């Protein structure tokens, strides 16, 4: 696996940079090209002494063939923009590029429909942090085992990410979808999205983590207010997501060798147990 070639798309974004450094820490080959948006003015960037060229939508189809030839077995990682989710997935399918997508947003129903019939090995998840995915799995299991457990109770969900995150947290959406089975009014529209820095610090985010964090609080109260449940997962920085993403890459590389070409989730990665 030392020669595994990984193309990190979404540079020069912060999450892309974090994943690129995690790829290098694992001794893998970081492909010196990255998909990025037309809005990015630069044509390349330097990352830890390495020059990485940018492929814009207008020229990526023409250039990707030579990159794939130079990097056999390439696996792509996608941390781009919510608006690019579906177009990027179509690009990967078109060129038969296995990929790990941590980008949230986009039309998820269309994404699922595309990948269900694509015959392409990929991992798609709204959260790549293993421990948080484990929490999601626990809530999902409990909501299926004990439906309507909190029927008649009230749910409040608040999430805070760096102000540059355009969409509502995909993790919060996934957890809320599970909590709805408990009989809670768990509509996505009621998730409170905190992006203003003063409000974030009041929510408990350290000032040093304002540019990179993920704080979530799920509060459940009885109708009369006499009982309160609260679930929290607060993350400062991005390293936990980068390392989980690399675990997903390692998982996907194994699936390619075994010929399993289908859509996987981080739940599948956790079940496999191949984690660094």
As annotated, the active-site residues are: 161, 165
Asked if residues 176 and 186 have their Cβ atoms less than 8 Å apart, the reply is yes
Query: The tokens of 195 are what?
Result: 């992006």
The strand order across the sheet containing 33-35 reads 33-35, 50-55, 44-47
């Amino acid at each position: 696996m030392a020669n595994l070639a990984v193309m990190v798309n979404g540079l020069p974004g912060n999450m892309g940079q974090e994943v690129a450094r995690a790829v290098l820490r694992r001794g893998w080959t970081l492909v010196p090209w990255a998909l990025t948006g037309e809005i990015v003015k630069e044509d390349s960037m330097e990352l830890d002494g390495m020059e990485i060229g940018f492929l814009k939508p207008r020229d990526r189809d023409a250039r990707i063939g030579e990159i794939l030839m130079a990097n056999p077995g390439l696996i792509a990682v996608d941390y781009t923009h919510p608006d690019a989710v579906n177009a990027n997935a179509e690009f990967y399918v078109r060129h038969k590029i296995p990929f790990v997508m941590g980008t949230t947003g986009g039309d998820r129903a269309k994404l699922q429909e595309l990948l269900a019939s694509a015959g392409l090995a990929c991992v798609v998840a709204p959260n790549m942090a293993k421990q948080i995915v484990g929490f999601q799995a626990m809530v999902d299991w409990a909501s299926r085992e004990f439906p309507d457990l909190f029927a008649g109770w009230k749910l409040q969900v608040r999430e805070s990410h760096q102000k540059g995150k355009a969409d509502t947290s995909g993790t919060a959406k996934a957890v809320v979808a599970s909590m709805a089975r408990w009989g809670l009014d768990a509509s996505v529209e009621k998730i409170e999205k905190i992006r203003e820095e003063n409000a974030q610090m009041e929510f408990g985010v350290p000032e040093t983590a304002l540019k990179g964090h993920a704080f979530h609080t799920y509060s459940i109260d009885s109708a009369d207010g006499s009982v309160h449940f609260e679930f929290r997962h607060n993350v400062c920085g991005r390293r936990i997501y980068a390392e989980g993403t690399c675990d997903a890459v390692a998982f996907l590389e194994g699936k390619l060798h075994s010929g399993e070409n289908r859509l996987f989730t981080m739940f599948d990665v956790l079940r496999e147990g191949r984690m660094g």
